Amino acid sequence: MNSMNNVIILEHPLVQHKISLMRDINTGAKEFRELVSETAMLMCYEATRDLPLKTVEVQTPVAIARTKVISGRKLAFVPVLRAGLGMVEGAVKLVPAAKIGHIGIFRDPETKNAVDYYCKLPFDIAERDVIVTDVMLATGGTMVRTIDILRKSGVKNIKVMCIIACPEGIEAVHKSYPEVEIYCGAVDEGLDEKLYIVPGMGDAGDRIFGTK
Ligand code: URA
């Protein structure tokens, strides 16, 4: 793991290997979808490292064990539609009790502004820590808008989990929300004129859902 200014890059060999497979243009939708889910599970392991624990007593077949369980605030995952959905299955495998909210945002082709068209959050979202999932952190506009919505809904502790980030996206998120930790598998070079991450892995939504 390599961290700098609230950017945590997961350098675990399994994460890096899976990202290389995802980058490959010849990886089809089924495999791509599985890799996104598996990578999200590995990332979630790191992003939940600071969950608070409390000690409880459990009767084992041999004796009473003083042992630890997760305590305190509960978690919610909030995927950003569409691509972020692909990360949810892997993440909830690790935290099955987490609730799931959905936020849909598109970029207005004229103004280039991020516009939200769908938002459904758990009723108790303000009492939960939130991990936002999106596969690519590109311009950061969508992520900033997502965090705006979560903050307005009363969420205090927000983390971002994306598989590939770029400097522009990280800068945009941290300009508005420097305290938000960004967990990612790679920080690529930057954006091209079509706002794709370079080298990236193309349109993650299309590759997950096989729409192109
Ligand atoms: N969204 C994607 O799916 N891919 C990119 O490269 C940038 C944004």
Which active-site residues does the annotation give? 107, 111, 203, 206
- pLDDT attached to residue 132: 98
For residue 135, the ligand 1 atom closest to its alpha carbon is 3
pLDDT in tens, 28-54: 999 999 999 999 999 999 999 999 999
For residue 201, the ligand 1 atom closest to its alpha carbon is 6
Write the CATH number of the domain with boundaries 2-51+62-209.
3.40.50.2020
Dihedral, 42, 14, 165, 93 alpha carbons, nearest 10: -20
Residue closest to 88 by CA, chosen among 136, 147, 52, 38: 38
Enter the DSSP assignment of 101. -
**What does pTM read for this prediction?**
0.95
Å from CA of 193 to ligand 1 middle: 12
Q: Beta-carbon neighbour count of residue 35 at 10 Å?
A: 24
Q: Where are the domains of the chain?
A: 2-51+62-209
Å from CA of 202 to ligand 1 middle: 6
